[in-house]
Amino acid sequence: MSVMKAKHQRLLLVVIALAALIGAGLLASWSLRNQASFFYLPDELMADPPEIGRAVRLGGMVATDSIEMQADGVTVAFVITDQAEARVPVLYNGILPDLFVEGSGVVAEGSLDAGGTFIATNLLAKHDENYVPRELEEMHAAQASQNPELTTVGLK
């Protein structure tokens, strides 16, 4: 019976560890393959729509005069556009974000249904770089410079 040399034992351990790492990476990527959420703009979604029911994100602007509250008071229908010709109808059932208004940026998470309507499960409203919280809207620049602790959010 031959005893394995220490050099060969280390080499065998390195090979086993490398195989285990590769196996773990492949297993993780295989299990997460359907969890990836792709991002589409309205024109991309119209040109090459994902499979029906596949979770994606749709980003764009809320079209002017497109927000319609449904009879149940919780569901809202609106259109996301890219300010060109592409328009995607969206249906969302839930509480709207405070910054959700016509003409503002929005990212909707959800999926397409068979009729071409995007069924959103979550809405993320975006603001521009000039956003000021409601609490600070009335504050003048001089007041803000005197009270810097009121205008810095989360800088600790």
User: With pLDDT > 70 as the criterion, what percentage of the chain qualifies?
Assistant: 75
- Give residue-wise pLDDT tens across range 46-61: 888 888 888 889 999 8
| Structure tokens given for 133 | 């919280």
Higher-pLDDT residue of 51 and 132 is 51
pLDDT at 155: 41
Residues constituting the chain: 156
Q: In CATH, what is the architecture of 40-126?
A: Beta Barrel (2.40)
Q: What is the torsional sign of CA 37, 42, 43, 46?
A: positive
Cα–Cα distance for residue pair 67/120, rounded to 1 Å: 14
- Give residue-wise pLDDT tens across range 112-121: 998 889 999 9
